[in-house]
Amino acid sequence: MRTRIMGFEWDASSSHSRGPALAPSVVKRLLRSEASSAFSIDLVDLRAAIEDYIIPDLPEDGEGARALIEKTIGDCLAGGLAPLSIGGDHSVTYPILKAVAAKHGPVNVLHIDAHPDLYEEYEGDPFSHACPFARCLEGGLIKSLVQVGIRCWDPNLRDFADRHGVTILRADQTGDVPAAIFTEPLYMSIDLDGLDPAFAPGVSHPEPGGLSTLDVLTMIRRIKGPLVGADVVELNPERDPNMATARVVVRLVKELAATIAS
């Protein structure tokens, strides 16, 4: 299946630090650079795998932005394409998964992050980037949720995860990801702060003790069932002066697109 890359320039739901709204255009420029390889690691031709890269003009209000994100993903799916989204902050994942679940039903989700993003609300906002998976679980959008790299949370979030059957793994437990999740239809959501700052420094909330780039690529390569969609979020170009993290995003996007096409 071919994929459409969609960049969502939204960070108004971020806490403490803005900047991820700048990421989609940076990633688009790098991906289309003459210096960027047209092939994945396993020599999938990305020119055939990627339909296009669009950046819709989002409204300034949260409700309007979420509605347009959901519609954009729905249109992508209706056209027979798999959505590969670039944030933006992690709040964009909720409307994305609403559209994906409307097409495929509740999906298995593999979530890479330093934080579980399971707050029922954060700073008074139930649609904060700290809340998307709480909304998805409450909305019945997720069949099973496995979170990898979690290292910044609290007992209340642990209780929420337990009540909803969420599997939470540290960065040193990647081998414990249930094998079945890689053989069934899967959605993958990658928050870049799930990676250690040594590999992805350009994020708003860096947390030492995370995954390596190779850890994440290895998980992508384990996917044998259909990858129905994916997102890569929370790149903050204002904290990525050497564009090292943006280049990690480009590599992840290439391998995700290749996996969708395989």
- Which pLDDT score, from 0 to 100, does residue 16 have? 73
> How many angstroms separate the CA atoms of 157 and 155, rounded?
5
Q: Report how many helices (DSSP H) and strands (DSSP E) the chain contains, helices first.
A: 8, 8
- Per-residue pLDDT of 99-153, as tens digits, reads 999 999 999 999 999 999 999 988 888 899 999 999 999 999 999 999 999 999 9
Residue 97, H or E segment: helix 93-104
- Per-residue pLDDT of 25-51, as tens digits, reads 999 999 999 889 999 999 999 999 999
Provide the number of structural domains found in the chain: 1
* Domain range for 133: 3-261
> How many angstroms separate the CA atoms of 204 and 181, rounded?
29
Taking phi first (over 0 means left), then psi (-120 to 50 degrees means alpha), and beta for anything else, what does residue 112 get? beta
> How many angstroms separate the CA atoms of 221 and 128, rounded?
31
| 139, 110 contact by CB (below 8 A) | no
List of residues 6+ apart from 13 with CB closer than 8 A: 62, 89, 91, 125, 127, 128, 129
Whether the predicted pLDDT of 67 surpasses 90: yes
- Which pLDDT score, from 0 to 100, does residue 190 have? 99
The CATH number linked to 253 is: 3.40.800.10
- Per-residue pLDDT of 150-170, as tens digits, reads 999 999 999 999 999 999 999
- Largest alpha-carbon pair distance within the chain? 49
- Which pLDDT score, from 0 to 100, does residue 15 have? 73
Q: What is the pTM of this model?
A: 0.96
> How many angstroms separate the CA atoms of 253 and 210, rounded?
20
Q: pLDDT-derived band of residue 65, with 50, 70 and 90 as boundaries? A: very high
